[in-house]
Structure 1
Amino acid sequence: MKSFFSNQFINKTSLILLSLFSFSLTSCLDKEGEAPEPTPVAYVTLYHGAPDAPEFDILVDNQRLNSQPFKYNNYSDYLRFSTGSRKFKFTPVNAANSYVDTTLTFKENKLYSVFAVNRLQDMEVLVVSDTVMTPAAGKAGMRIIHLSPDAPAVDVATTGTTGTSITTNLNFKEHTLFKDVATGNQTIQIKRTGTNEVLLTLSDVALTAGKSYSLLLRGFQTPPTGNTNILSGQVVTNY
């Protein structure tokens, strides 16, 4: 995944987020040389999927995470977060007011995808628990996440002789589990649910055996005046 967090910054962020836990653990030691217990962590990736929202900063427990403005379609690698309740803010760049101000809870050794979604005036956070799966031999795994605020419910399938239905009747802010699909260069069609109306066709989507992918349906079916973020699909590799 694309990284907007330098190694130095990730290490600094991890230290900030884990410092409270580290302090409490080391302060409880009663024998010299005794190693502290491992600090519980979760793994979180972040994605900007709000198609009319400007670039923003991401603050966790009032510490800025991003090393540069986080733009539409930007996403991060999985970052280590201390478990429990974390206070999240999406704010204008270098500003104090918030587009989103919420609290998210993470569990030990779990993986999460956190999406900024919806129109700017209604921007919110969508949290998806990422289930690690191993595709069947010779297959890839794929899930669909519907992030378009004005697109209808959709049916999604690969085409051709190895065509597979991945999902039907998927609405905004809904997502599927991973499903086995054929590998190689695939064509994926996204249709209005229950019809033959093709909303979007993705050609030559390269899928590798043993890999798992997320297909993100994003943008506006009917963009507001001046907005160029049209309905599109983005395929990202999960693992």
Structure 2
Amino acid sequence: MSIVVRIGCAVLLVVGWTGPVARAAPSDGYVRLAHLSPDTPAVDVYLYAGRSTDRRRQRLVLKHVGYGALSPYQRLGGGTYTVAMRPANAAAASPPVLTTNVRVRGGKAYTVAGMGPYKSIRLRVMGDSVELPEGRAALRVIAASLKEPSVDAGVGGRRLASGVRFATTTPYEVMAAGEARVRVRGRNGQAVTKVSMVAGSAHTVVVLDGKTGLRLLSLRDSVRSARTPRGGVDAGLGGMAKDGAWGPGVLGLAIALGAVVAVWRVGARRRA
């Protein structure tokens, strides 16, 4: 396969994932996919319409998703979908090592994550939507650090959660909107991150294993006024984005433009 064709396929893969930037229908919901198992190698993640892994129902695939990576939200029509994980580079027709179903409801958002240690990893479906009083925001914690099997979390001088065990998620805690200083402490150390919470927004802080100690990943799950979840990390590129920094449409456009430039350069070299 020529390099031009390979680049074109890569663009189609990513643009297919990010989807068009359009107003969602009332029946549409949102799903993002995550790899939160520290000792599990990279995987390929598939999404299918319905309750099977029939290739004719495949809606997207993300390749080489590593630990700590989350995709942008994908807008989907209401209904049941199947998420499947296979080892990186495994044949698309091979049996998946993990599967689960997620029921997408209109206006709701979900995270489907591979969680737990390698020997007992499972796919977990988490609801990312929360009803909020006027002028309030919400925050939760996902514990995905194997080095710190139990952590405590606080916001400013307020305790958010105690003894959050590995591979578990706290409920959303409703609090005043504003700049929040989130501190997570384990037996061997701690980490701090700042979260900018506007009124009507819901956020998740993911506790990860860093090279040394803990690493915190701050995600914006949803903003009520925008009606569309934002934020996240692009699993396909393995990069990270701050809250709202890379929306799905912007990410797809940037990659597409980069691919066009790459194709032009290849053609220029061949003509020279």
Rounded to whole Å, the distance in 1 between the matches of 2:78 and 2:195 is 35
1:123-161 CA deviation, whole Å, 9 max, x = no partner? 211211122344653x543111122245333321123xx
CA deviation map 1:188-233 (0-9, x unaligned): 32235xxxx5731215x1424323320111228xxxxxxx485322
* CA separation of 1:218 and 1:69: change in aligned 2, threshold 3 A: same
Q: In the TM superposition, what is the alpha-carbon distance from 1:101 to its structure 2 partner? A: 2.4
- Aligned partner of residue 69 in structure 2, secondary structure: coil
Per-residue deviation, 1:44: 0.8
Which residue is equivalent to 1:209? Answer: 198
**1:127 equivalenced with 2:116 (yes/no):** no
1:8–1:103: structure 2 CA closer, same or farther, 3 Å change rule?
Answer: closer
Q: Which residue of 2 aligns with 1:219?
A: 209
Structure 2 residue runs of 5 or longer lacking an equivalent are: 1-12, 223-272
Matched, 1:235 2:218: yes
| Structure 2: distance between partners of 1:167 and 1:136 | 24
Larger deviation: 45-54 or 100-109?
100-109
Task: Report the counterpart of residue 92 of structure 1 in structure 2.
Answer: 87
Cross-structure match for 2:259: none
Q: Say if 2:182 and 2:195, in contact at 8 Å, map to a contact too.
A: no
**Paired residues of 2:111 and 2:127 also in contact (CA < 8 A):** yes
Structure 1 pair 9–207 and aligned structure 2 pair: CA distance change class (3 A)? closer
Answer whether contact 1:86 1:104 (CA < 8 A) is retained. yes
CA RMSD of aligned residues (A): 3.2
- With over 3 angstroms needed to count, the CA separation of the structure-2 counterparts of 1:40 and 1:229, relative to structure 1, is farther
Alpha carbons of 1:209 and 1:83: their partners in 2 closer, same or farther (altered >3 Å)? closer
Q: Cα distance 1:129–1:145, how it changes in 2: closer, same or farther (>3 A)?
A: same
Amino acid at match of 1:179: V
For residues 172-193 of structure 1, the C-alpha deviation after alignment (integer angstroms, 9 at most, x for no partner) is 2232213215633x4432235x
Offset of residue 90 of structure 1: 0.8
Instruction: Map residues 1-239 of structure 1 onto 2, 5 A cutoff.
Output: 6-11=14-19, 40-61=27-48, 62=53, 63=58, 65-96=60-91, 97=94, 100-109=97-106, 110-134=108-132, 137=135, 140-149=137-146, 151-159=148-156, 163-172=157-166, 173-181=168-176, 183-184=178-179, 186-192=180-186, 199-203=189-193, 205-210=194-199, 211-219=201-209, 228=211, 230-239=213-222
The normalised TM-score by structure 2 is 0.59
CA pair 135-154 structure 1, distance change in 2 beyond 3 A: farther
Q: Distance in 2 between matches of 1:11 and 1:188?
A: 32
Give the secondary structure class of the aligned counterpart of 1:69: strand
Letter paired with 1:171: R
Give the TM-score, by structure 1 length. Answer: 0.66
1:31 corresponds to which residue? none
- Corresponding letter in the other structure for 1:156: A
Classify 1:170/1:206 alpha carbon distance in 2 versus 1 (closer, same or farther; 3 Å): closer
Residue identity matched to 1:141: A
Number of the residue aligned with 2:252:
none
Q: State the structure with bigger RCO (CA 8 A, min sep 6), 1 or 2.
A: 2
**Total equivalences in the alignment:** 194
Q: 1:40 to 1:206 in 2, by over 3 A?
A: closer
Identical amino acids, percent of aligned pairs: 21
Q: Give the C-alpha shift of residue 115 in structure 1.
A: 1.1
- Structure 1, unpaired ranges of 5+: 13-37, 221-227
